Chain A
Amino acid sequence: DPKIIQKPKYLVAVTGSEKILICEQYLGHNAMYWYRQSAKKPLEFMFSYSYQKLMDNQTASSRFQPQSSKKNHLDLQITALKPDDSATYFCASSQESTPNSDYTFGSGTRLLVI
């Protein structure tokens, strides 16, 4: 059974629209993260949350907003979508946000903005 569920697996969106990417983890972890992988760049860190609180944000644009309604949820809302937002978005979790925790990744949401 997948321990981190990301929905949807694939998403096509129109420029200017808004979408929410869903992430739920069933590992009992206290820290969750979002990473982005686009065709020309390595996996880039976006956000980290610990106990539902924002710890770090490396996303320049406020169009990306994480939402944590429950301890094991960290959704990603993206507004005013642009073609450059096309990428695979990975959710991850770890027991704690400290360096001595290993990360587990979801299978990703592949987003295409047209």
Chain B
Amino acid sequence: GDQVEQSPSALSLHEGTDSALRCNFTTTMRSVQWFRQNSRGSLISLFYLASGTKENGRLKSAFDSKERRYSTLHIRDAQLEDSGTYFCAANYGNEKITFGAGTKLTIKP
């Protein structure tokens, strides 16, 4: 079955607002990586986490260190350039990462 479940599938925000995206895993994961896919289709790595939290500017990500069954991506003060599709991808210990279905984020003025 699906190992990586992303929510919501789509999200529309006004500039300046905050929100959070979530990934749930059906099994314990060793690591998680968050990507943004822009309008040209390029996959840009945002965060890689084996545990804990990381922050970069207005973005912050957390990986549940206890159960290792979910991760979140927080967007603070959303800007137009944050629009895109956000993917989480997780590794449960084999030679690949498995992607979620993505969250399509639209930022409105």
B-binding residues in A (CB < 8 A): 31, 33, 35, 42-45, 48, 50, 55-56, 58, 88, 90, 97, 99-100, 102-105, 107-108, 110
A-binding residues in B (CB < 8 A): 30-31, 33, 35, 40-43, 45, 48, 50, 87, 89, 91-102
> Which residues of B are found within 8 Å of A35, using beta-carbon distances?
99
B43–A102 contact, CB under 8 A? no
Give Cα distance in the complex from A48 to B91, angstroms.
Answer: 13
> Which residues of A are found within 8 Å of B99, using beta-carbon distances?
35, 42-45
Can you name the residue of chain B whose Cβ is closest to the Cβ of A107? B42
With A42-B87, A43-B99, A105-B35 already in contact, the answer to whether A99 and B93 are too (CB < 8 A) is yes
- The residue that B95 contacts in the complex, of A97, A100, A105, A108, with Cβ under 8 A, is A97
A105–B96 contact, CB under 8 A? no
Can you name the residue of chain B whose Cβ is closest to the Cβ of A102? B48
Give Cα distance in the complex from A44 to B30, angstroms.
Answer: 19
Can you name the residue of chain A whose Cβ is closest to the Cβ of B35? A105
With A43-B87, A48-B95, A50-B95 already in contact, the answer to whether A99 and B30 are too (CB < 8 A) is yes
B41–A102 contact, CB under 8 A? no
A-B contact pairs, 10 of them (CB 8 A): A35-B99, A42-B99, A43-B87, A43-B99, A48-B96, A56-B95, A99-B91, A103-B33, A107-B40, A108-B43
